[in-house]
Amino acid sequence: MDVQIEKCVLSLIQGDITLEETDAIVNAANSGLAGGAGVDGAIHDAGGPSIMMECRKIGGCPTGQAVITTGGNLKARYVIHTVGPVYQGGTRGEAALLKSAYLESLKLASARGLKSLAFPAISTGVYAYPVNEAARIALKTAMDYLKEHSDIERVRFVLFGQAMFDIFAAELKKLIEVEI
Ligand code: ADP
């Protein structure tokens, strides 16, 4: 599913983010940049040890912020590591932190002159963020950014499995309807 936002094509696809050929892929990292399960583990496995060596040099990343490394053996030239919130009931600033994780990743991509970016569904795995709300925040943050910034040409949300794809598609339709 593709939508045009000003000069950018925003796409939802079902797949494995480690195979993406965008300038950067975004990793749902932890604040120690220590690797782990889920998409984080998959990216380090596919990209090879050089990514972890760079992560160790950087040392860490607070929740809601983003840092960048090269992409090692990945097709993507860079990995933007961002840290989404652990969901703890919704009263601990989780929504603002999740929004910030997407926004800081987009800003970092712009600052580095990157034209294309692929996101996973940050915080929806081990960090247990309710998926519909996480999808709405992800899409709204990207759409609002792309309306104001014309440098990024392609943003892809690479969703792992049909269920996650369907939820993102439903939330994207709702957001588009509101705008029309
Ligand atoms: P978090 O700790 O931020 O919740 P997880 O890695 O546990 O991060 O999960 C985030 C999302 O990434 C989940 O929806 C999970 O299904 C998805 N995911 C796991 N592996 C991949 C992959 N290879 N490509 C894209 N998404 C993935």
Using one digit for the tens of pLDDT, what is the confidence trace for 126-164? 999 999 999 999 999 999 999 999 999 999 999 999 999
Instruction: Write down the pLDDT at residue 131.
Output: 98
Higher pLDDT, 180 or 162: 162
Q: What is the CATH number of domain 2-179?
A: 3.40.220.10
**For range 87-96, the mean pLDDT:** 97
Record the tokens describing residue 68, joined without a space: 């960048």
Position 178 confidence tier, pLDDT thresholds 50, 70, 90:
confident
Yes or no: say if 123 and 38 are a contact pair by the CB < 8 Å rule. Answer: no
Record the tokens describing residue 72, joined without a space: 């090692």
Question: What is the percentage of the chain residues whose pLDDT exceeds 90?
Answer: 96
Position 30 confidence tier, pLDDT thresholds 50, 70, 90:
very high
**For range 80-85, the mean pLDDT:** 98
Top mutation candidate among 21, 25, 160, 168 for ligand 1, by most atoms within 8 Å of CB:
160
43 CA: nearest ligand 1 atom: 23
- The pocket around ligand 1, CB under 6 angstroms, is made up of 16-18, 28, 38-40, 42, 84, 120-127, 158, 160, 164
Residue 98, pLDDT > 80, answer yes
121 CA: nearest ligand 1 atom: 11
Q: Which residues pair with 134 in a beta bridge?
A: none
H-state helical runs in the chain: 38-47, 49-58, 94-111, 131-148, 162-179
Residue 179, pLDDT > 80, answer no
Nearest protein CA to atom 15 of ligand 1, as residue? 125
Quick one: how far is CA 127 from the chain centroid? 14
Nearest protein CA to atom 19 of ligand 1, as residue? 39
41 CA: nearest ligand 1 atom: 6
Active site residue ranges: 40
Residue 180, pLDDT > 70, answer no
Instruction: Write down the pLDDT at residue 101.
Output: 98
Nearest protein CA to atom 21 of ligand 1, as residue? 39
What spacing in Å lies between the alpha carbon of 180 and ligand 1's midpoint? 31
